Amino acid sequence: MNVFQKKYFAELLGTMLLVFLGCGTALFTNVDIVATAFAFGLSVVAMAYTIGNFSGCHINPAITFAAWLSKRISGFDAAMYVVFQFIGGIFGALLLYILIPETDGCNFGANLAPVDVAESLSGNTEYFLGTAFFAEVIFTFIFVLVVLAVTDEKQGAGNKAGFYIGLTLVLVHLACIGVTGTSVNPARSFGPALFAGDDYLSQIWIFLLAPMIGAALSAGVWALFTDKIKFSVNKQ
């Protein structure tokens, strides 16, 4: 296996284990918020120090998109990373499907806006879908901004970056699980949704699009911080 194949396989493996461990913990603990948050965060830490030297351990299309916008990765590599991340997410959900003896009614850790709550309170499902979309944008923005900061060549955290990224993901999950179940990662959402069924697939667009918008915003803000984008004021 050459170096190019290794980094793509690393992204597949890392995303698969992120979904398996994170979503698996959510399922087996009945979505215990603290346990689920730490499962996702610690999975990222573990993968960062396992596959980081091969691929950089993106295991998230939103991170890859921000890295590409920040010119840290080529367009070809970014596209291949995303493809293998989605495959990994599907494989992770497949492992859960095999492991769980009774799959009827199981959501496999898929994300969903609180539409039932919306209908019971006001009937305004659009409001709650909008809230879910905004939450995914803002929490992805926070998460990916930290990723860009701690992995920056000049101002980053070096070997401690994986730990800080994982800890940030714990925080993001603690804050966002009550709104969407926390995605901030299109590949993490897509695989489980395929197995969870139509209700979850009908909202998958939120968890595919919103994190990418958040990632783009984080790339723009980090470019401002690092003076890669400069504003000039013409004095008369």
Residues 6 or more apart whose Cβ sits within 8 Å of residue 161? 48, 150, 151
Give the chain's domains with CATH numbers: 3-225 (1.20.1080.10)
Residue spans of the chain under pLDDT 50: 117-122, 233, 235-236
pLDDT at res. 112: 86
pLDDT at res. 227: 82
Cα 36 to Cα 54: distance, rounded to the nearest angstrom: 27
pLDDT at res. 229: 61
Nearest 5°: the CA angle 108, 171, 21 is 30
The conformational region for residue 197 under phi > 0 = left, psi -120 to 50 = alpha, else beta, is left
pLDDT at res. 196: 92
pLDDT at res. 235: 47
pLDDT at res. 115: 56
